[in-house]
């Protein structure tokens, strides 16, 4: 008896997933970057980008090492997504490369309280 | 002499090793640092400000700093940040008038670094005093401790920061001596913008640098010398 | 001496709900104010790039200083063996940790990045007196909690004396640290003095005891517990001594300032033409906060009058807040002497006396520190046995009663 209830419940859940646009795609849509390939293997980046950025941040801030390979500035510029107005969207938009995934994972990003989340427009 | 030519004349005289490649791009060939190398303690960056060349109605250095570092005004002078400011002086004794820029003096023994509870205030190997905003908690003790009022607190949320100069609400900030430019071998924005050649930037540790030579021959002083902080910014034509 | 009996405060009575409700309301107001300040940034406060520390710091420093002073009664009983104070020792320790918690809450909520509390707790710059204070505060909590345990658990009684010693030593170091936050600042002429550390210790004795007296009065009144004249007399005499000690240090501080040419202008500014700071110094700190309480405590008509003693304690607190205000805000208002011998002007307010107009939110945040402290005291004495059943003369000091009868 109990088992049949469970099965019914599960069936409803599964049906629910496919029901309505909110559940249509359970995964984040990650915008494509401009460059050919990322500075590290994408799988590796997905798991470790925060450590790479933190390492680079301390090197640059404290020591003055300014290599570009792991710099946040380069990430932001290569992964910039243009909005409807043709300008790159800021981190406030869900289309922003960082936001698309961080919103899905519900992880707050502190970087862009200070760092620019878009490449600089030509002056 | 026009402003441009006098500036060129200054740059040409500044150092044999300085070359102007294109407008706005000045290389200090001898001191350019490879990107993958850390700042070196063999170097100590500093400035010599010749107050006799600094005019009261010129604030080009301030404007250049604001543009370079993306410092906007919110129309609230009490809380708007100022990394560099023009100070006008009138001697109480002689009535002599002076004008000079004051910014972070990049002390050898910076009180802001001593008092910072987390170590966010720190001095780079090459003597540049910076705030690491990643670990600044915004307690403002460094602002209490700085003898030069050189630091500002970011009093509001910011947008449109320059990518090379991250800044944000709740942290303390101040002149970075344009570390991002210096690392690329460029002059700090204020020094580059100073048409009268009043701001001379260079390596205090290199006896052959123009700044070191001038410091040896000209009478110069630091602000609040009695504190013995051995500042990297020195002033000529000012007697305290 | 009889064994002292302790009893919890009875919960859920109308009075209890009213007290707790009022304190909780004030605490929430402070939290709301902090959220408002953090959300908008500090431009909505009266604090600026010139007056970088404002009312929250005044209240936080007052509470932290008072916290270590509130421990005095316990120290006098454990360290100096004065048994009359023993019944109040646990309350004294409780008030100490509560005031410290209140002060630190305010200090934390005023940070530019309060979300980085973890950074403050894990990254230390050992040259920073501020970092040392973080360690001293945490240590104070630990030591005083252990001290309370030794006082309140019979099995731990034998450790009470060493714990009391440790707490007493720690609190002296802690207040030295708090005073040195200002004493170590060479940049600003009005600070930069070694006398700050001992003066802050005297201030802590005075402010802490004033708060303590009020808490004892209020709790015995609200919970209908007897409070005899013997203890009141001791407490108010002690307060008088502490007020005098603070006056002494203030005099020394100002006199040395007047003597040293470098500091003279700053002291003359404060004492004669410093506007609000001169008024606060003479009228509130010295007049209302020291001289009037001394008169109330020792003039025969009011000397043993409870409302007058309570008023004296309130005045000491007001005077204390004024004193901390004059130290912290006044010290920043006075222009920094970058170019002595010159008239100075700039867009960054060089050479000017800086003005400070506190905003509502920062005032609420500051005052809520008191609410947090009192909420903790009220809650803890409801849950644990902090308050003695009676402070009548025969409980406190049998000899005194015997003498009085003769």
Q: In this complex, do B240 and C111 lie within 8 Å of one another by their Cβ atoms?
A: no
Instruction: Compute the average pLDDT of residues A46-67.
Output: 95
Number of domains in chain C: 1
Q: Is the dihedral of CA B159, B165, B170, B172 positive or negative?
A: negative
Q: Dihedrals φ, ψ of B130, to 5°?
A: -130, 165
Is B223 an 8 Å CB contact of chain C?
yes
Mean pLDDT by 10 residues, chain C (406 residues): 80 94 97 97 97 98 98 93 91 98 97 95 95 96 96 90 95 96 93 94 98 97 93 96 98 94 93 96 98 97 95 98 98 95 96 96 97 97 94 77 54
Cα C299-C296-C209 angle, rounded to 5 deg: 125
* First vs last C-alpha separation in chain C: 19
Contacts of residue B22, Cβ cutoff 8 Å, sequence gap at least 6: none
Joined together, the tokens standing for residue C173 give 């170091």
CA dihedral C290, C292, C297, C298 (to 10 degrees): 100
Q: Evaluate if residue A65 carries a pLDDT over 80.
A: yes
Q: In this complex, do A65 and B35 lie within 8 Å of one another by their Cβ atoms?
A: yes
What's B98's domain CATH number?
A: 3.30.70.20
B162: nearest CB among A58, A90, A120: A120
Question: In Å, how far are B143, B177, C31, C120 from B152, measured between CA atoms?
Answer: 7, 15, 26, 20
Cβ neighbour number for residue C94 with a 10 Å cutoff: 25
Instruction: Compute the average pLDDT of residues B97-117.
Output: 97
Q: In this complex, do B146 and C181 lie within 8 Å of one another by their Cβ atoms?
A: no
Number of domains in chain B: 1
Joined together, the tokens standing for residue B2 give 């026009």
Question: In Å, how far are B128, B186, C167 from B84, measured between CA atoms?
Answer: 15, 18, 47
- Give the pLDDT confidence score for residue A4 in this predicted structure: 67
Q: Are strands B45-50 and B233-236 parallel, antiparallel or unpaired?
A: parallel
Note the ipTM here.
0.93
What's C74's domain CATH number?
A: 1.20.1630.10
Residue pair B86/B100 in contact by the 8 Å Cβ criterion: yes
* First vs last C-alpha separation in chain A: 71
Joined together, the tokens standing for residue A37 give 């390939």
Cα B168-B173-B175 angle, rounded to 5 deg: 130
- Give the pLDDT confidence score for residue A28 in this predicted structure: 81
Q: Which tens digits make up the pLDDT trace of B34-61?
A: 999 999 999 999 999 999 999 999 999 9
Specify which residues C79 forms β-bridges with: none
Is B132 an 8 Å CB contact of chain C?
no
Task: Enumerate the domain spans of chain A.
Answer: 31-113
CA distance C143 to C150: 11
Tell me the H-state helices in C305-392: 306-325, 331-333, 360-383
CA dihedral C162, C164, C166, C167 (to 10 degrees): 160
Residue C105 lies in a domain: yes
- Give the pLDDT confidence score for residue B2 in this predicted structure: 43
Q: How confident is the model at residue A27 (pLDDT cuts 50, 70, 90)?
A: confident
B111: nearest CB among C52, C131, C187: C187
Q: For chain B, what is the mean pLDDT?
A: 89
Phi-psi region of C337 (alpha: psi -120 to 50; beta: other; left: phi over 0): beta
- Give the pLDDT confidence score for residue C2 in this predicted structure: 57
Question: In Å, how far are B131, C222, C387 from C13, measured between CA atoms?
Answer: 53, 11, 17
Letter string b/e over residues C166-181, b meaning 16 or more CB atoms within 10 A of that residue's CB: bbbebbbbbbbbbbbb
**Which positions 172-191 of C are in contact with B (Cβ < 8 Å)?**
181, 184-188
DSSP at C26: H
Q: How confident is the model at residue A31 (pLDDT cuts 50, 70, 90)?
A: confident
Cα B107-B109-B111 angle, rounded to 5 deg: 90
- Give the pLDDT confidence score for residue C406 in this predicted structure: 47
Question: In Å, how far are B99, B150, C333 from B102, measured between CA atoms?
Answer: 10, 8, 20
In the block, tokens 């004669």 appear at C272
Q: How confident is the model at residue A61 (pLDDT cuts 50, 70, 90)?
A: very high
Residue span of the structural domain in which B130 resides: 3-34+41-72+80-236
Q: How far is B221 from chain A (nearest CA, A)?
A: 29
Q: For chain C, what is the mean pLDDT?
A: 94
Q: How confident is the model at residue B11 (pLDDT cuts 50, 70, 90)?
A: very low
B35: nearest CB among A67, A113, A120: A67
Question: In Å, how far are B166, C110, C253, C324, C397 from C258, measured between CA atoms?
Answer: 45, 34, 9, 20, 47
Q: How confident is the model at residue B239 (pLDDT cuts 50, 70, 90)?
A: confident
Q: In this complex, do B163 and A64 lie within 8 Å of one another by their Cβ atoms?
A: no
Question: In Å, how far are B108, C134, C170 from C137, measured between CA atoms?
Answer: 31, 5, 9
Q: Dihedrals φ, ψ of B235, to 5°?
A: -120, 135
Q: In this complex, do C185 and B102 lie within 8 Å of one another by their Cβ atoms?
A: no
Q: How confident is the model at residue A3 (pLDDT cuts 50, 70, 90)?
A: low
Joined together, the tokens standing for residue C373 give 């402290």
Is B144 an 8 Å CB contact of chain C?
yes
SS3 C388: strand
Q: In this complex, do B134 and A62 lie within 8 Å of one another by their Cβ atoms?
A: no
Contacts of residue C142, Cβ cutoff 8 Å, sequence gap at least 6: none
Residue span of the structural domain in which C291 resides: 6-405
CA distance B142 to B150: 10
């Amino acid at each position: 008896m109990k088992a049949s209830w469970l099965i019914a419940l599960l069936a409803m859940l599964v049906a629910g997933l496919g029901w309505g646009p909110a559940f249509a795609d359970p995964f984040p849509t990650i915008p494509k970057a401009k460059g050919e390939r990322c500075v590290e293997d994408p799988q590796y980046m997905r798991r470790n980008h925060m450590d790479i950025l933190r390492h680079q941040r301390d090197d640059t801030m404290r020591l003055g090492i300014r290599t570009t390979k792991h710099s946040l500035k380069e990430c932001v510029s290569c992964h910039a997504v243009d909005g409807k107005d043709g300008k790159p969207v800021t981190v406030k938009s869900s289309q922003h490369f960082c936001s698309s995934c961080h919103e899905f994972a519900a992880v707050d990003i502190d970087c862009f309280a200070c760092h620019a989340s878009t490449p600089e427009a030509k002056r | 002499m026009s402003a441009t030519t006098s500036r060129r004349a200054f740059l040409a005289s500044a150092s044999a090793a300085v070359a102007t490649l294109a407008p706005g791009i000045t290389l200090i060939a001898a001191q350019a640092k490879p990107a993958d190398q850390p700042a070196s303690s063999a170097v100590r960056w500093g400035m010599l400000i010749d107050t006799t060349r600094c005019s009261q109605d010129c604030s080009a250095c301030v404007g250049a700093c604001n543009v370079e570092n993306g410092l906007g005004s919110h129309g609230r002078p009490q809380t708007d940040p100022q990394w560099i400011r023009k100070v006008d002086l009138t001697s109480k004794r002689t009535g002599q008038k002076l004008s000079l820029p004051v910014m972070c003096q990049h002390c050898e023994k910076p009180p802001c670094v001593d008092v910072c509870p987390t170590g966010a205030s720190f001095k780079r190997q090459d003597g540049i005093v910076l705030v690491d905003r990643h670990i600044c908690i915004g307690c403002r003790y460094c602002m209490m401790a700085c003898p030069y009022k050189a630091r500002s607190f970011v009093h509001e949320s910011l947008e449109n920061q320059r990518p090379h100069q991250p800044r944000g609400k709740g942290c303390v900030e101040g002149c970075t001596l344009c570390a991002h430019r210096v690392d690329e071998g460029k002059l700090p924005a204020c020094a580059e913008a100073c048409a009268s050649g009043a701001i001379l930037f260079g390596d205090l540790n290199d006896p052959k640098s123009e700044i070191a030579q001038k410091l040896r021959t000209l009478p110069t002083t630091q602000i609040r010398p009695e504190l013995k902080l051995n500042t990297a910014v020195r002033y000529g034509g000012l007697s305290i | 001496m009889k064994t002292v009996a302790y009893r919890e405060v009875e919960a859920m009575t109308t009075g209890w709900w009213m007290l707790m409700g009022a304190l909780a309301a004030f605490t929430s107001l402070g939290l709301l104010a902090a959220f408002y300040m953090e959300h908008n940034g500090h431009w909505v406060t009266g604090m600026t790039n010139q007056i970088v520390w404002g009312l929250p710091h005044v209240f936080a420093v007052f509470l932290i200083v008072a916290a270590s002073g509130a421990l005095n009664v316990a120290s006098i009983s454990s360290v100096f063996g004065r048994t009359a104070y023993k019944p109040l020792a646990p309350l004294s320790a409780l008030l100490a940790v509560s005031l410290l918690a209140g002060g630190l809450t305010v200090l934390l909520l005023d940070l530019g990045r309060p979300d980085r509390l973890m950074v403050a707790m894990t990254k230390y710059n050992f040259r920073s007196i501020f970092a040392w204070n973080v360690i001293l505060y945490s240590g104070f909590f630990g030591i005083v909690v252990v001290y309370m345990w030794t006082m309140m658990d019979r099995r731990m009684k034998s450790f009470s004396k060493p714990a009391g010693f440790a707490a007493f030593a720690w609190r002296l170091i802690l207040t030295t640290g708090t005073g040195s936050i200002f004493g170590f600042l060479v940049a600003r002429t009005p600070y930069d003095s070694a006398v700050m550390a001992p003066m802050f210790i005297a201030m802590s004795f005075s402010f802490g005891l004033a708060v303590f007296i009020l808490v004892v009065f209020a709790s015995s009144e609200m919970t209908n517990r007897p409070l005899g004249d013997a203890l009141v007399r001791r407490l108010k005499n002690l307060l008088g001594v502490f007020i005098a000690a603070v006056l002494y240090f203030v005099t020394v501080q100002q006199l040395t300032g007047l003597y040293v040419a470098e500091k003279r202008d700053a002291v003359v500014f404060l004492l004669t033409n410093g506007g609000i700071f001169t008024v606060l110094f003479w009228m509130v700190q010295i007049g209302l906060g020291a001289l009037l309480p001394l008169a109330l405590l020792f003039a025969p008509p009011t000397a043993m009058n409870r409302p007058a003693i309570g008023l004296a304690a309130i005045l000491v607190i007001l005077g204390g807040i004024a004193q901390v205000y004059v130290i912290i805000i006044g010290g920043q208002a006075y222009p920094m002497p970058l170019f002595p011998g010159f008239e100075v002007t700039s867009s960054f307010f060089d050479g000017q006396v800086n003005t400070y107009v506190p905003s509502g939110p920062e005032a609420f945040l500051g005052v809520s520190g008191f609410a947090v402290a009192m909420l903790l005291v009220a809650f803890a004495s409801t849950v644990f046995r902090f308050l003695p059943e009676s402070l009548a003369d025969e409980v406190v000091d049998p000899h005194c009663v015997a003498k009085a009868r003769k």
